[in-house]
Amino acid sequence: MTLFESERSLIVLDCGIKFPDPSFESSLLTADFQYVIDKKDKVKALFITHGHEDHIGAIPFLLKKVNVPIYGTKLTLGMVRAKLKDYKISSKDVTFHEINSNEIIFVDDMFVESFHVNHSIPDGVGYAIHTPHGTIIHSGDFKFDQTPIDRKTTEYNKLVSISSKGIDLLMLDITNVEREGFTPSERVVGEKFFDVFRKVNGRIILTTFASNIHRVQQAINASIAFDRKFCILGKSMINTVSIAKELGYLSFPEEYQLKQHELKNHPLEKTTIITTGSQGEPLSVLTRIANNNHKDVKIFPNDTVIISASPIPGNETLVNKTINKLFKLGAEVLYEPNHRVHVSGHGSKEDIKLLINLVKPKNLLPFHGEFRHMKHFSDLAQSLSYSKENIILAKNGAVVELNNGEVKIVDEIAIRNMIASGSEIIEFNKSSFLERKKISDEGLILISLTFDPEKFKILAEPRIKTLGLKNQENIIQKEIESAIYSFFLKSPKIENTQKLEDKISNSIKELVFSQYRKYPAIFIQAIKLNSK
């Protein structure tokens, strides 16, 4: 999320989520909205560059705090509407404005123009934001694809026309600044698909990001070309394909699409499955197939699995586990970097240089990068004759001031890590989530007991509750109860309640691990009560 603030108005650009760690697969990090909430009377518009989750995923949470009109392209707004529906927010309660390529959008004392860019999802745009103190171009996520699937290249003429009036700051995507050359065209992947489909005799299972609609289109095209029917599996893939087809971004003859229940009766060699799971997500279709627990799809020795994506940093272990399991089940697996079945949606070094040379900005501010990316970008920019003073390396929370063509960091806003919890957002605390993860994996035992400290004996039957220990709970509860009675019979008198609880907890941990190889979280409440 990026904010553009003038004396009278505030524009929000993108509002996404990310996964904090592969082990927190059900948790989502969002932006900290506090600054926006504090200035909600100034917030005039939310502009979206494209429909990826890291750019639209937190919009439902923002709308619960701030009522703001949303601007974006046709597909992007379609994805946003679907996202709002997931959170039971009616689109009728939100003002949407579909961007027209030739339109100038006036937002109080600022005005905004858009220009088409290529990315791994159709309908992406960058924005030119004209403020009272200068003009900023935000590239959005981009690459220069000279042969895009939809034949829509970057709007070079418009970008150059806007830039000819002078650009004070270019904010640009540097995800692939470490890669040499230009990022290959999406069409390269389609050519590889055709080559693979031509050679493979068995079933093909292909996974990619659901939002990569052009990739899905190319997989469908290859299937039809070699007389295969295809089946779309996975909630996000099904939803995205439905939206894209309805809005005209995806096309295919209906007779070539199989329903999930039709898979078992269709010849394997005439079947393609297009599904989710390219990142090894634990609940995804491909992971369930690899774990041999999908109800309709089992791996056969003649199957070929194509993983048409690169692992997001941090997901490598999950992806490698999936690949290994698929090989063990007898499938042939094609994946990056061993096979050319994926290209990035982000520009490499030469794309970045080209954008800078087209725009010719006075100042540069990179985004989408870790510190090493920033360092490489700074070196690249200096090779294009930019001085260090004109290369703004800003971290999250930085306040960057544009004043009469001069750009500098002037302040920093404290940014909290926020996490989506149900329909609300709360501050993210890693230690509490590690504890939650442990409970999920190892189970939880709750014990309440009353004892006489003088006689050191239990006064009533202990209350025991176990969670996350399926098929073992009744047995474990009886064993724990027996262990507690045994402890009071054999242990020396312990007067300190905390010490007593710790001793009982350790005893139960040893019991559960020796019997079930589990380390559950154990919470004990021991209540002193003198008996008569």
pLDDT digits (tens, 9 = 90+) for 107-128: 999 999 999 999 999 999 999 9
Residue 26 has pLDDT above 60, yes or no: no
Please report, for the chain, the start and end positions of each structural domain, with discontinuous segments joined by +.
Answer: 2-181+344-427, 186-334, 430-528
SS3 of 103-144: CCEEECCEEEEEEEEECCCCCEEEEEEEECCEEEEECCCCEC
CA–CA dist 51, 84 (Å, integer)? 13
CA–CA dist 219, 255 (Å, integer)? 16
Consult the annotation and say whether 261 binds a ligand.
Answer: no
Consult the annotation and say whether 168 binds a ligand.
Answer: no
Alpha helix ranges (H) inside 176-234: 187-199, 213-225
Dihedral angle sign, alpha carbons of residues 484, 490, 491, 493: positive
Residues noted as catalytic:
173, 346
pLDDT digits (tens, 9 = 90+) for 439-472: 777 888 999 999 998 889 899 899 999 887 765 6
Three-state DSSP class for residue 411: strand
CA–CA dist 237, 275 (Å, integer)? 6
pLDDT digits (tens, 9 = 90+) for 248-304: 999 999 999 999 999 999 999 999 999 999 999 988 999 999 999 999 999 999 999
Other CB atoms within 10 A of residue 268 CB: 13
- At residue 344, the pLDDT reads 97
Consult the annotation and say whether 373 binds a ligand.
Answer: no
Encoded amino acid at 422, one letter: G
Residue 22 has pLDDT above 60, yes or no: no
Strand order in 17-18's β-sheet?
17-18, 28-30, 418-421, 424-427
Consult the annotation and say whether 344 binds a ligand.
Answer: yes
Fold of 2-181+344-427: Metallo-beta-lactamase; Chain A (3.60.15)
- At residue 27, the pLDDT reads 60
Q: Which two tokens stand for residue 350?
A: 């030469």
- At residue 516, the pLDDT reads 80
255 φ, ψ to 5°?
-65, -15
Consult the annotation and say whether 141 binds a ligand.
Answer: yes
Residue 140 has pLDDT above 60, yes or no: yes
DSSP codes joined into one string, 61-111: HHHTT----EEE-HHHHHHHHHHHHHTT--GGGS-EEEPPTT--EEETTEE
For residue 311, is the peptide bond before it cis, meaning its omega torsion is within 30 degrees of 0? no
Instruction: Tell me the CATH number of domain 186-334, given options 3.40.50.10710, 3.30.70.2740, 3.30.2020.30, 3.90.226.10.
Output: 3.40.50.10710
Consult the annotation and say whether 346 binds a ligand.
Answer: yes
- At residue 430, the pLDDT reads 67
CA–CA dist 345, 142 (Å, integer)? 7
pLDDT digits (tens, 9 = 90+) for 357-412: 999 999 999 999 899 999 999 999 999 999 999 999 999 999 999 998 899 999 99
Alpha helix ranges (H) inside 309-429: 316-328, 349-359, 371-383
CA–CA dist 251, 224 (Å, integer)? 12
Consult the annotation and say whether 242 binds a ligand.
Answer: no
Band (pLDDT 50/70/90 cuts) for residue 530 is confident
- At residue 470, the pLDDT reads 63
Residue 424 has pLDDT above 90, yes or no: no
Consult the annotation and say whether 138 binds a ligand.
Answer: no
| Statement: 430-528 belongs to CATH 3.10.20.580 | yes
Nearest to residue 24, comparing CAs of 316, 502, 425, 430?
430
DSSP classification of residue 346: S
pLDDT digits (tens, 9 = 90+) for 188-197: 999 999 999 9
DSSP classification of residue 491: S
CA–CA dist 323, 339 (Å, integer)? 14
Consult the annotation and say whether 320 binds a ligand.
Answer: no
CA–CA dist 159, 329 (Å, integer)? 51
Give me the mean pLDDT over the 322-342 stretch: 96
Residue 23 has pLDDT above 60, yes or no: no
Encoded amino acid at 225, one letter: A
Consult the annotation and say whether 130 binds a ligand.
Answer: no
CA–CA dist 353, 383 (Å, integer)? 10
What residues does 4 pair with on adjacent strands?
Answer: 11
Please state, for a pLDDT cut of 70, what percent of the chain lies above it.
95
- At residue 377, the pLDDT reads 98
The conformational region for residue 314 under phi > 0 = left, psi -120 to 50 = alpha, else beta, is left
Other CB atoms within 10 A of residue 301 CB: 9
